[in-house]
Amino acid sequence: MTAPDFRLDGRVALVTGTSTGLGERFARVLGAAGAAVVLASRRAEPNATLAASLRDALPVTCDVRRDEDRAALVAAALDRYGQIDVLVNNAGIASSTPAEDENLDSVRDLLDTNTVGLFGMTQLVGRHMLDRGQGSIVNVASPSATISLDRYPLAGYAASKGAVVALTRELAAQWAGRGVRVNALSPCFFPSNTTGWLADPDQVAWISGRTPIGRPPRPDELDGPLLFLASVASSYVTGQNLVVDGGWTTR
């Protein structure tokens, strides 16, 4: 019996939303596991700084809402490396407003970024993976896709992430027999721009009291789940939504 293989040597991972927060960490974790990493972000300077700190990385300025940006990103990745083995659809935005007051332009922006942009990226990279007969796609979703995070009114955001979970399931069903796995990763209140880096003591106390594990997550506690879904360690897993929440959704 051999241990599961979480290594990504010789593989190329494309990660969106890499200029800060979870996306930056995802890029570092995949790079440390041996992958060459394509970094996609709207912010060029932090993306270039991140690339310079990695063993083998290509920074590309990209707004996933724009068709031409997505196409240029995939073309640049294939021109540099000739292949894409892992796609992590991490780019996303959040907005918290009571549903009755939520501006529909804001909802459209949430859907354009979190859902339509993600679908567009997945189509482009998915076609390449299907041609090769292999690949792993990880869509970053949220527990708000399946439960209400009661302290924060998130109707538009929850709708966008619920669509991501449904899309993940459907793509997995369509592509599994052709060698491409599609899964979702749903982190709950990890330190990031979206969560305000957990700098509010009241927020931390609320998370700790609501979470069976009794504390907020550490950034490193998402590393293993990401590598599991990205690597051959999860070769028989597709269509799943892996919720990393300290037990939050058990209540």
Percent of the chain whose predicted confidence (pLDDT) is above 90: 88
Helix or strand (DSSP H, E) at 89 = strand 86-89
State the Cα–Cα distance between residues 103 and 110, nearest whole angstrom: 11
User: Does the model's pTM come out above 0.85?
Assistant: yes
User: Would you please indicate which residues are annotated as catalytic (active-site) residues?
Assistant: 157
Each residue of 115-125: pLDDT tens digit? 999 999 999 99
- pLDDT for 139 equals 98
d(CA 96, CA 92): 14
pLDDT of 20 reads 87
Sorting pLDDT into bands at 50, 70 and 90, what band is 195?
Answer: confident
Q: Give the range among 126-135, 169-178, 199-208 with minimum mean pLDDT.
A: 199-208
Catalogue all structural domains in the chain, each as residue range(s) with its CATH number: 12-238 (3.40.50.720)
User: 138 Cβ partners below 8 Å, 6+ apart?
Assistant: 86, 87, 88, 89, 183, 184, 185, 226, 229, 230
Phi and psi, residue 12, nearest 5°: -120, 125
For residues 195 and 154, the answer to whether their CB atoms sit within 8 Å is: no
Split at pLDDT 50, 70, 90, the class of 191 is: confident
Q: What is the pLDDT of residue 55?
A: 97
Q: What is the pLDDT of residues 209-248, one digit of tens each?
A: 999 999 999 999 999 999 999 999 999 999 999 999 999 9
Backbone angles phi, psi at 241, to 5 degrees: -115, 100
* 236/136 Cα distance (integer angstroms): 11
Structure confidence by residue, pLDDT tens digits, 51-90: 999 999 999 999 999 999 999 999 999 999 999 999 999 9
Is 80 exceeded by the pLDDT of residue 153?
Answer: yes
Q: Given a cut of 80, is residue 196 above it in pLDDT? A: no
- Residue 63 CA to residue 66 CA, distance in Å, equals 6
**CA–CA dist 137, 75 (Å, integer):** 18
